Amino acid sequence: MSNVDHPAHYKRKGRRECIDEMIEIYGPKDVIAFCKLNAFKYEYRAGLKGDAEEDLKKAEWYRKKAKEIEIGDMEQYMNKPEDMEQYMNKPEDMEP
């Protein structure tokens, strides 16, 4: 563990990592947006609050996590091709 990749302060004893609980509670769409916004924040403030390199690594972690969630959300429909078209054409405000 490091301050970038799964820091200890984002996991409580007996629970899953914070971001995994967020997906369950808020859904993938909102957590993807959260990750993209956090990536922007870390890039924007890189070096202003602490180590610039660490901020940029955090930004990259959040970009990768957003993509990972997005792919995972889409893959749940891959086993049901009849649902894939509905997923691809869902309105923005429709929950996954």
pLDDT by residue for the chain (96 residues), tens only, comes to 566 666 666 566 788 888 989 999 999 999 999 999 999 999 999 999 889 999 999 999 999 999 999 988 777 656 555 555 555 555 555 554
pTM for this predicted structure: 0.69
Q: How far apart are the first and last CA of the chain?
A: 31
Residue 75 has a pLDDT of 72
d(CA 77, CA 18): 25
Residue type, 16: R
Q: What is the pLDDT of residue 85?
A: 58
CA distances from 48 to 39, 41, 42, 72, 74 (A): 15, 11, 10, 34, 36
